[in-house]
Amino acid sequence: MSDNRLPEAGDRIAKLLARAGVASRREIERMIEAGRVSLHGKVLDTPAVKLESLRGVTVDGKPVGEAEETRLFAFHKPSGLLTAERDPKGRPTIYAALRNALPKDAGRVMPVGRLDFNTEGLLLLTNDGEMKRAMELPSTGVPRTYRARAFGDITQDQLDSLIEGIEIDGIRYGQIEANLERGSGRNRWIEMTLREGKNREVRRVLEHLGLEVNRLLRIGYGPFHLGDLPRGQAVELKRGDVQAFKRELGRGGRQ
């Protein structure tokens, strides 16, 4: 867009819209490319516009309100739900369960990362697209902790080798802390903490070690933990804890 009157101060429009909970920054950039975002009635074709506020901004013709205070919810995702708003195959998604689990005033929330269809456990949801992006970036190093029940033979020494990272089929997986829980037999629980969250990372790493994963549960993301939250239920996390974590993210510190 070649309009010299566009303001140059402030933050990029995609960042402001993400902070306001419209979508993630990447999704907003796609929305701008598709001509869905306007400023004072003029369709934008670049995400480089900088603004002091969202006054005059519309998405799909609807005005956008200013960013609300950041909220973060913990949801115990059951197995058998897709982390998506809709599925062309008609599979059930998290949003059907969230309609009953979230408080009525939760507004629009976005999942932080994803859990596979058959993976259960802690799924965080936020109204702050900037926080979502920061938590997902490998560069911020936010830890994700899982418990995997796997069938096969494995030793702690083999798991200890994952601390150096591992390459599988040309994909490099970074440092993983893995501990074999006490028990006997060939069905064992393994706790794993990783900081990148690549697609199906836990399953691929354990399958590479000759194990068959038959249950996978995420129990932690950053400083937040699943605890005894019942399956299918959600709870809002304390705003003081959320703001403290957000400040830590802003400093770029690893959790």
> Which DSSP state fits 82?
B
Structure-block tokens of residue 4: 């010299």
Partner residues linked to 160 by β-bridges: none
Vertex 150 angle, CA 149 and 151, to 5°: 135
**Contacts of 255 by beta carbon, 8 Å cutoff, 6+ apart:** 141, 142, 143, 222, 223, 245, 248
Of 116, 160, 228, 241, the catalytic one is 116
Structure-block tokens of residue 185: 């037999």
Vertex 95 angle, CA 94 and 100, to 5°: 105
Q: What is the 3-state secondary structure (H, E, C) of 213-255?
A: EEEEEEEEECCEECCCCCCCCEEECCHHHHHHHHHHHHCCCCC
**Contacts of 225 by beta carbon, 8 Å cutoff, 6+ apart:** 122, 219
Measure the CA–CA gap between 241 and 252, rounded to whole angstroms: 17
User: How far is the CA of 204 from the CAs of 78, 101, 166, 169, in angstroms?
Assistant: 21, 31, 11, 10
Query: What do you get for the CA distance between the two ends of the chain, in Å?
Result: 40
Annotation says 153 is catalytic: no
- Annotated catalytic residues are 116
